[in-house]
Amino acid sequence: MAVHENHADHVGAEFDRERAEVTAAAEAEPALSFLAHYRRGVYDFGVDRLAEPEASALRDRLRLLGRQFCHLTMRLDRILAEARTGGLIRVVLHGGNAAAFCDAVVPDAHLFGLALTLGADEADELQPILTEQHAVRSADQAVAMLATRLRALAQLPTANPGGWETTGRAGRQAAAEDSGETVTEIRHRTADKLPDGELAFARDSLREYIRAPDLHFVAFCANCEPVLTFDRLADPVLGPYFQQITIPARRAFYHRLSREVGDVAARFNRTAADVVGGLLDRLVLDVEQGAVYYYRLGAGRFLMGVTLNQDEVSTVDDRMAELARRFRPVGVGSREK
């Protein structure tokens, strides 16, 4: 299907190169149904491959959705600033029928992309949680690479959204050498309300997946409260990440965020429910120095993970997906609210 390109009246010839890059990216990535550029949440120009006769109404809805996502992203950027891990450069929302991407280009400018038809195997109810689903990852990478090209036009270096430019650069060898020491485990008061078997399973699983080279913090949460948290923040290898903030301060921030990220996910879900469809399975908040991950398990339960290493953002995303999939078959929650 041919792409449809248009722009707002305020956009002049000064954006010709950016418009050409956006159009080329959309033409090259069939999984992208909608791709647009915004400044301060205002639509500038975009490309889509929406089918008639409902294309006009859906196009208007998607432009509004992009605007809402940009504003939510800018608001989250201010919240995440407390962790001293840099600006929010990429947001991924992954639901039952679509995935949305919001990538920062320059200050106050964002790209918003949407993959509408994912081609998931409906017989596998866990399929939407997989980050390796081809259409999702391909569209995500296309928007990230476009953001990098637009930054280059502005004479700015790459922010490496998604970490794909450096995936696994040093993590594999470091993971093999990881001793497993300096793990901080905290059992929160909410743990007393859950069955012992579920707690034991969660504890063993989280302890297995936490490691110094990449997954630095992970929480199992129920009813928007942390139940168990594990971290490797005190590991000496992470020392360079604590030049502007103390280990206890960052740990406390992530504990607070684990209480809030469920509401953040719900806010994104409400905003995009009519487009994304179903319940939100995955949310990625990619900052300049790592990322925060939310994976819904069902029945009020979810996992939150954190990496501080931008080189390992996509690797940790896959590991969080594996961890979430481990929880789902054993009955820790369900796909129902």
Mean pLDDT of 26-50: 96
State pLDDT tens for residues 285-326: 999 999 999 999 987 899 999 999 999 999 999 999 999 999
CATH 1.20.1050.10 fits 4-159, yes or no: no
d(CA 111, CA 148): 11
On the question of pLDDT at 179 being above 80, the answer is no
pLDDT at 123: 37
Torsion of CA 133, 136, 137, 141, to 10 degrees: 170
Q: What average pLDDT score do residues 125-145 get? A: 79
For residue 212, the SS3 value is coil
Query: For the domain with range 166-330, which CATH number is right: 3.30.450.20, 3.40.50.300, 3.30.450.30, 3.90.980.10?
Result: 3.30.450.30
pLDDT value of position 117: 62
Which of 56, 41, 49, 43 lies closest to 8 in space, CA to CA?
43
* Residue 331: band (very low, low, confident or very high) from pLDDT cuts 50, 70, 90: very low
Do 116 and 98 contact (CB within 8 A), yes or no?
yes
Secondary structure class of 328 (helix, strand, coil): helix
pTM of the full structure: 0.92
What per-residue confidence (pLDDT) applies to 278?
A: 73
Using an 8 Å Cβ cutoff, are 311 and 168 in contact? yes
> Which whole-number Å values give the CA distances from 36 to 57, 58, 101, 283, 300, in the listed order?
16, 14, 11, 20, 34
Residue 124 has pLDDT above 60, yes or no: no
Looking at the DSSP bridge assignments, the partners of residue 287 are 88, 290
Q: Which residues of the chain are in CATH 3.30.450.30 domains?
A: 4-159, 166-330
Mean pLDDT for the chain? 89
Give me the mean pLDDT over the 200-211 stretch.
Answer: 95
CB 89 within 8 A of CB 101: no
